[in-house]
Amino acid sequence: MHSMECIIQLTGHLAVSWAKDSVRVNCLSPGPFPSDEALEALISRLEARSLMGRMGKPHELKGAVVFLAGYASS
């Protein structure tokens, strides 16, 4: 099993195990976010495999992180 799949499985297990104690467990698995210094060939290969045809931007995760960390996601 791929390491990210293990993390997602662990997240589900912990969420079920700790729910009775009112502990929320979440994870985000957005895929690759190469840095500006990444090789153009790498970025091109990743974009070709992406359903949106582009790489994500770190600022696009902020809303999801704030929501999951806040009381609105309870």
pTM confidence score: 0.64
For 31, residues 6+ apart whose C-beta sits below 8 A from its C-beta are 50, 56
Q: Both 19 and 7 in a single domain? A: yes
pLDDT digits (tens, 9 = 90+) for 18-50: 999 999 999 988 888 888 788 989 989 999 998
Structural domain of 14: 1-30
pLDDT score recorded for residue 56: 86
24 within 8 A of 71, measured Cβ to Cβ: no
Domain count, the chain: 2
Residues 57 and 23 in one domain: no
- 51 and 71 share a domain? yes
Judge if 13 and 25 occupy the same domain: yes
